[in-house]
Chain A
Amino acid sequence: MKDLKLKIEEYRRTFDEDVSRVKDTKTLQDVRNLYLSRKRGYVSLLFEELKSLSPEERAKVGRSLNELKAYIQTRLLSFKEELARPQEPLKKVDLTLPGRKRYWGAPHPVLLFQQEIENIFLGMGFSIEGGPEIETDYYNFEALNFPPHHPARDDWDTLYINDDLLLRTHTSPVQIRVMEKRKPPIRIIIPGKVFRKETPDPTHLPMFFQVEGLVVDHGITFAHLKGTLEHFLKRLFSEKIRIRFRPSFFPFTEPSAEVDIECTVCRGKDRECRVCGGGGWIEILGAGMVDPQVFKNVNIDPERYSGFAFGLGVDRTAMFAYQISDMRIFYENDLRFTRQFALK
C-alpha cells in the first residue's frame, strides 16, 4: 500500500515535469496518453494495482488516486485551452489592398475569330486542311477555271513573284490540292493567309485571313449549300440574323452566290450607314456549286459527284462581328486593343 502511495506521489511530480514541456497539441496528447491511456497509461495501471488491496486500503488509496486522476485531467484541460488560444496576436493586414494578379497572354483577335469559325465547322464534321502561301498560277487560277488572260483575274489583284509563282489570292487552290489526292466524300475547310495587291485602308488589306470550305459527294445540292451556310451564320452571329443569298459570279462555281447578312450596325435603318453603305446588307460569303470544269481538272466526274464551295474573309467578318471600323487595327498589334480579346 505504501508503494502505491509513493507511486502516486512520484507520478504527480513526473506529470508536472512532463506537462511543463508541453508545447503543442501533439505533445499534450502524448502526455495524456502516457498517464491516462486506458490500457497502458500510468494512472490506469495504478487502478489495476488497486484491485489487489484490502477494501479499507482500497478506499483510502483509491481516493488519492482519484485525486491524481482529476488533477491530471484538470491540468491537461487547462493546457489544452491555453494551447488553443493564439500565441501571438496576428499581424494586422489590410485585406482591401489589391491582390497579386498573374497576367495571361492574349490571342490575336483574328486568329481567335478564325477558331470560332473553325469550331462551328468542326462541329459539322468538317476537317481542316492547309496549303502553301506561295502558289503557282495553275493552282491559284487555271485549275479553278480562270483561263489565262481572262478579265475575271482582275477581281483578284495579284502579287506576283515571277510569271508562274504568286502569293495566293485565296485559299481556294487548296481545294484543288485536296481533290487531286483524295476521292469524295470530301468535307473540309481551309483557313489561311491570303494576299492581294491592295494599299491598306480601312476596308482593304494586302494580307488577310480567309476560310474556304468544300463539300463534295453524291447528291450535294444548292439547298445543302444554303442549309450549311445558314446554320454557320446563325451560330456565328445569332439565331435571329437575317440572311440573303443572291446570284454572283466566280469562275470556279456555277451557279454562284453571294451571301449577305443584315447590317450588324444599322439593321438596314440608316441610309447613311458607313458600314453597309445604306443598303442594309453586308456581304459575308462567296459561294456556289463546284464548277464542272473544276471537277474535270481533278478527274472527278461531274455527272456522278456534285459539291459546293464557299469562302469568307476572317478579318472582314470579325470587323462586322465586333463592329470595328478600320481593319488595319488588326495588324497594328496595339496591346490596348488585342488584350481585350483575352476576355473572349
Chain B
Amino acid sequence: MKISLDWLKEYLEFDLPLAQLVEKLNMIGLLVEDWKEIEEDIILDIETYANRPDTLGHLGVAREVAASLNLSLKRKSWPLTESEEETPQLVDIQIKNADLCPRYCGIVVRNIQVGPSPAWLRRKIEAMGLNPTNNVVDVTNYVLFSTSHPIHAFDLEKIEGRSIIIRSAEKGEVLRSLEGKEIALSPEMLVIADEEKPVALAGVIGGEESGVEEATHNVFIESAYFDPISIRKTSKKTGILTDASYRFERGADIDFPPQAALMAASLLAQMGGLATQGIMDVYPKPKSQKKLVLRNHRISELLGMEVDKEFVLRTLPSLGFDVKEENRGIYQVKIPSFRVDIERETDLVEEIARFYGYDKIPSEIPPLQKLEPVFDPKRKSVERLRQLLFHQGFDEFMNFSFFDPEKESLFETEKKAIEIRNPVSSRASLLRTTLVAGLLENVLWNKNRGVEGVHAFEIGNIYFWEKEKTREQLTLAIITTGYLDYLQWQGKSELTDFFHLKGTFESLMENLRYEPYSFQVENHPFFEQGYSLSLSYKGERIGHLGLLRRDILDSYSLEDPAWAAELDLSILFEKQPQSFRFSPVAKFPSITRDVSFIADRDIPYQKIEEEVEKLSIPHLETYSLYDIFSGSSIPKGKVSLSLRFVFRHPQRTLQAEEVDKFQERIIKTLKANFSFQLREGGKIDK
C-alpha cells in the first residue's frame, strides 16, 4: 500500500524525521519496504497483511501512527451543498440478496460538470501511482485511498428506471466492464442491476454503459458493504482484481458506507454539484458491535511479562476500542467495526504487544525439562547412506520434484505420474517418477562446463498414483559417467563402468547390514536390453542398475555411456537389517588355495557362486574371483577364471590334507556342472 506523508497529515499533525517514522511503522507491524520522494511529498511503500483491510487507506495508517505517538486524529467535516430533492425521490434501492449485500447506501449529486480534477486531487491520485481520469472517478479513488472504503459512481441517467437492484446474476447474463471486457455472469455472482440488466459486478468492477463520461450530469454514488467470500469468489472466477475487490474481499467496515458516501458527495459539491438530501441507507439487519473480555493475567501468560493497567487503558482506546475494567484485571472491550481482524482475546493481546513493543518483551530460554527425543531410524539410515556415498566419491545433487511430460514418456517408468493442475510451466507439469532424469540434467550441465566425470547421487521422493491415492516413495538414485579420477602422473585415469556402480551397491548393502541380497539379470525400461540387474533383499525387488538407454542419453545430448541405478529406500528401510554382532578374531592360521579353470565364456559367474554355495564346504571362510583372462593361450570362446579359496577352522590349525579334500570337492563339482578344465599349473599351494 502506498502511503503519502502529505495525505497522512490530513489526519494527523506530526513532525518526525523520516527514519524515525519508518522505524515506528516497522515496529508496529507496518513494514516500510521502500520509499521515494516525489515533489514535496514522500511516498512510503508499506506491506499490509491480509487480516488488516483497515490499513489499506491513509486513515487507518494514521490511526496506527497516532496510537504509537500518543496523538489524536484530526476531525474532518464534510459540508454538503444540497438540492431541494430527497434522495429516494430520484432513485430506488432494493436489496434482493441481503446475505451477500447486508448494507447499501447511496446519494445523488446533480449538475456535475465532468472534467479534469483540481490540481490537489490530481496530485493525490498520481501519488497513488494512478493516472487521473476525471473529477468524479478521481473523487471515488480519493475516498478509497483515504478511508480504504471502495465506492462507485454511476451515471444516474443510464440506470433504467432509476432503480438500483442488488441481486444475484442470472444465467446467461453478460456485463461489459469499464475495462471493455465482456464478463459472463453466473448465478453465484452478485450484481448491481437496473430494471433491465446488470450495470455493475458488485464490489468488483462497474459496467461500461453505466459509467461516468463527459456528458454525465447526474451521478449516483454507491457506498455499500459486500460479503467478502462472495467478492473473492467472483474476482477469482472472472480473473478481475481491482482496488475495490481487494478491499471488499478482506472485509470492509460495515459501519462506514454512509460516511464514505458523504465524503464523495461533499467533494463533488465543492466542484459545483448539488447533493440530494439525506443518504439512502438500506441496512435491514444492523450488526451489533463485537465485544470481548480481556484478562490481564492472560496478557502476561502469553507475553511472559507484566503490562501496566494504564498502558492497556491508554492503548486500546487510541486504536478505537472502547475499554472498561469491569473487575480487577478484567476488561470489557468493544471492538470498532473497522477492526475485522479482532475476534478473540488473543487478538487483543497482540494489539497490546504491538504497541508495547516486541523489542521490550524479555528474551528467555524456555524451561527445558527432559523430553525423550523422538527418534526416527529412517533419518539415521539416510544419513549413513549419504556418508557412505561421500566416502566412495559420489557428490550429492538436489533437483526440483517436477517432471517434464516429454521426459516422462521417454523414461517409461510404468508409474502413473501425478499431474499439477496449475504448474509453473508446461515443462514442469508432472511430479517426477524417477530421480534419474534430474541427474542427467546435472551431468549435462557439468559436462558442458568441462567436468570429465560425474559420479553423483540424489535422495528424495518420487511420486505416483497408486490405487487412487498418491504415493511418495523415498528413493536413492546414482549416476556414474566419465573419468573416475583426476588426470595424474602415475598412470592413466580410469573410466567408470558398470562394476563401479555395482560395487557401490554391494558395499552399501553390506555396510547397512542388508545381507544377503541378490542381483538378477533383468531388463528395465531405463536400460539397454541385457545391460541391467535388479537388486533384491528378503525376496523383494528394491532397485535396478544398468547402462542407460542410448536414446535417453541422446535426448540429453550425452555422448558418453552413463550407468545409473535407482533404489527404493521406502521398502528397504521398512525391512530389518541384520543386527550388529561382533565375532572374535580368528586365532588359527588359514590355508589359501588358488585354482584356475578354463571355462566357457557364456557361463555367468553367479552360477559358479551358486554351485559353490550349494556345496556348503565346512570351514570355507571366503572365496573370490581374482582374475579373468583370455588370449592366445586360451582356446577360442573360453576364458581362464582364477578363484581364491580361503579355509580356516575356528578352533584349530587346519591340515593341508583336509583342505585338499575340500578343494577336490569344489573342483569336481565345477568340472561336472560346467565342464571346466583345470588349468595347467593352476593349483598352487600357499
Contact = CB atoms under 8 A, between A and B. Distances in A.
A200 B423 CA distance: 13
A125 B401 contact: no
Interface string B314-352: 000000000000000000000000000000101101100
Given A108-B398, A227-B363, A244-B359, A134 B470 contact: yes
A197 B395 contact: no
Contact of A105 (B34, B373, B393): B393
B366 A107 contact: no
Contact of B365 (A104, A152, A224, A336): A224
A201 to B, nearest CB: 11
Contacts of A165: 470
Nearest to A154: B50
Contacts of A244: 359
Contacts of B228: 149, 151
Interface residues of A, number: 91
A17 to B, nearest CB: 31
Interface in A162-182: 162, 165, 167
B303 A223 contact: yes
Contact of B424 (A98, A149, A155, A199): A199
Nearest to A163: B421
Given A98-B489, A188-B374, A230-B363, A249 B52 contact: yes
A263 B627 CA distance: 62
Interface string B348-388: 01100110001101111111111101111001000000100
A35 B161 CA distance: 140
A106 B49 contact: no
B173 interface: no
Contacts of B78: none
A245 interface: yes
A245 B304 contact: no
Interface in B429-456: 431, 442, 445-446, 449, 451, 454-456
A107 B353 CA distance: 43
Nearest to A330: B398
Q: Is the interface of A mostly helix, strand, loop or mixed?
A: mixed
Given A150-B50, A291-B346, A334-B445, A223 B363 contact: yes
Nearest to A283: B31
Interface stretch (B22-30, B638-646, B659-667): B22-30
Contact of A246 (B31, B344, B350): B31
B490 interface: yes
Interface string A93-134: 000011011111111101100000000001011011110111
Contacts of A335: 395, 446, 451, 454
B603 interface: no
A254 B346 contact: yes
B90 interface: no
A185 B393 contact: no
A293 B456 CA distance: 46
A249 B371 CA distance: 30
Contact of A161 (B249, B393, B419, B488): B419
B389 A105 contact: yes
Nearest to B460: A193
Interface stretch (A42-50, A64-72, A213-221): A213-221
Interface in B216-235: 228-229, 232-233
B106 to A, nearest CB: 27
B597 interface: no
A338 interface: yes
Interface in B382-436: 386, 389-402, 418-425, 428, 431
B401 A107 contact: no
Interface string A192-207: 0101011110000111
B33 to A, nearest CB: 7
Highest count of chain A CB atoms <10 Å: which of B233, B350, B362: B350
Interface in A222-238: 222-224, 226-228, 230-231
Given A125-B373, A154-B50, A185-B369, A199 B390 contact: no
Nearest to A226: B363
A320 interface: no
B521 interface: no
B28 A247 contact: yes
B615 interface: no
A130 B26 contact: no
B63 to A, nearest CB: 15
Contact of B379 (A128, A207, A247, A293): A128
B422 A199 contact: no
B110 interface: no
Given A155-B50, A185-B369, A306-B301, A245 B358 contact: yes
Contact of A108 (B304, B373, B397): B397
Contacts of B386: 107
A206 B429 CA distance: 12
Contacts of B347: 254
Contacts of B486: 101, 103
B353 A226 contact: no
Given A152-B51, A255-B354, A332-B445, A105 B394 contact: yes
Contacts of A198: 424
Nearest to B379: A128
Given A247-B28, A255-B346, A255-B353, A222 B398 contact: no
A248 interface: yes
A257 B27 CA distance: 10
Contacts of B350: 247, 254-256
Interface string A60-103: 00000000000000000000000000000000000001101111
A148 B346 CA distance: 22
A128 B304 contact: no
B505 to A, nearest CB: 15
B461 interface: yes
Contact of B305 (A130, A223, A292): A223
B389 A226 contact: no
Contact of B364 (A160, A226, A249): A226
Interface string A264-289: 00000000000001110000000001
Interface of A: 97-98, 100-108, 110-111, 122, 124-125, 127-130, 132-134, 148-152, 154-155, 159-162, 165, 167, 185, 187-188, 193, 195, 197-200, 205-207, 215, 217, 219-224, 226-228, 230-231, 244-249, 251, 254-258, 277-279, 289, 291-293, 306, 330-336, 338-339, 342
20 contacts: A104-B391, A105-B391, A107-B386, A111-B396, A129-B374, A130-B376, A155-B50, A197-B422, A199-B425, A222-B303, A222-B304, A244-B359, A246-B27, A247-B353, A251-B51, A255-B350, A289-B346, A291-B346, A332-B442, A333-B456
Given A107-B386, A151-B249, A227-B364, 11 more contacts: A108-B396, A187-B371, A199-B424, A221-B364, A222-B302, A222-B358, A231-B365, A249-B52, A256-B350, A306-B301, A336-B449
What 4 pairs between A and B have smallest CB-CB spacing?
A221-B304, A223-B304, A247-B29, A249-B49
